[in-house]
Amino acid sequence: MVGRITKYPPIMAMALDAHQASVVVTPGNPPPLPPIPALPAVHWVNMATIPISSMFLTGKYTRTTANEFMGAVLWQHDWGPLQIHLPIPAECLVSISLALLPLASQAKFFLPAFAVQEAMEGAIAGGATPVAVCLPIFCMQVQTCQDIAGWGFSAPMGMAMVVPSVRWVNFTMGDLFAGLIGMATDCVTGLICSGAGKALGLPDSLAGGVAGAMINNALTGIQAWQGTMGAMGQAGTSVGALTIPIFGIAVLAGWGGGIAANSVGNSWPQPADPAQRTGVVE
């Protein structure tokens, strides 16, 4: 199978997310008095259009390695926080969740192509990383943030639109399995971070939501920092993080999942002829 190498920056992504809503106000139905009840899950449209966070926090891409005069999006590039979420139905307009959800939003390219690996020059410089693959129709499914009753996880509920490219890349079943392992790892670490927030007794309020978002973003930052290290450095920081209750388990799980995903992708057989791994559509 073949796909296209995704150009950086991508255009936008849209997704249908499930998120807890702390307040819902409908016409003729004023908000309840405190304590305000929470709805376990409400549908939200996640519009990933703001690239600032991906430039400085969560982005994985190339600058100097040209992909038709643009950079290349690398595996697990994430739009990151500050993405607008709009509730469905539109009457759900007054909710703390409107302010909270953008703080820990996600829209991540979860499918790699290990046939082409480039040095990461994104928010944090790192080693060789597989490129992110997209369909020949210049769009790709992405994983986005979800939560039910405050338990966060990831699911492939979004679609990203990307700049047209004629550069193709070989895509194997190993790439698919590696991508699924990576997404499953994100689900596990998201659930663990949710558990950390609940263990801390974070309230269902603006302050509690901000604190929960910071826990998620701290994990993202640590994982990006680990990407600049060698194997021993990654192992040391992951084991050392176990000194932090619950959160340390998320760091360790993320490290282990990354090893598993990369092992599958790198060990899967690729064509011996480099011309069969990547090229330009003629």
Q: What is the tens place of the pLDDT at every residue in 97-143?
A: 777 888 888 999 999 999 999 998 888 888 889 999 999 999 999 99
The residues near 33 (Cβ < 8 Å, ≥ 6 apart) are none
Q: 67-84: string of b/e by CB count within 10 Å (b at 16+)?
A: beebbbbbbbbbbbbbbe
Q: Are 68 and 127 in contact (CB under 8 A)?
A: no
pLDDT, position 77: 93
How high is the pLDDT of residue 210?
A: 62
Query: Out of 154-158, 236-240, 257-261, which region has the weakest mean confidence (pLDDT)?
Result: 236-240
Residue 251 has pLDDT above 80, yes or no: yes
CA distances from 125 to 25, 114, 118, 226, 244 (A): 45, 19, 11, 11, 26
pLDDT tens for residues 46-100? 999 888 888 888 899 998 776 678 899 999 999 989 999 888 766 555 567 777 8
Cβ neighbours around 262 below 10 Å, total:
18
Task: Tell me what pLDDT residue 40 has.
Answer: 74
pLDDT of residue 201: 74
Residues 178 and 114 sit within 8 Å (Cβ to Cβ) = yes
For position 205, what pLDDT does the model report? 55
Confidence of residue 11 (pLDDT cuts 50, 70, 90): very high
Q: Which residues contact 278 (CB under 8 A, 6 or more apart)?
A: 5, 115, 116, 167, 168, 169, 170
As a whole number of angstroms, the distance between CA 190 and CA 26 comes to 31
Contact 129, 120 (CB under 8 A): yes
**Integer Cα distance of 47 and 225 in angstroms:** 27
How large is the average pLDDT for residues 255-270? 95
pLDDT (mean) for 217-225: 79
Per-residue pLDDT tens digits for 202-213: 665 555 556 667
Residue 231 and residue 258 in contact, taking contact as beta carbons nearer than 8 Å: no
pTM value is 0.89
What pLDDT does 169 receive? 94
Q: For 137-185, how does the pLDDT look when each residue is reduced to its tens digit (9 = 90+)?
A: 999 999 999 988 778 889 999 999 999 988 999 999 999 999 999 999 9
CA distance 180 to 176: 6
CA 173 to chain centre: 21
Confidence (pLDDT) at 142: 97
> What's the rounded Cα separation, in Å, for the pair 140 and 74?
13
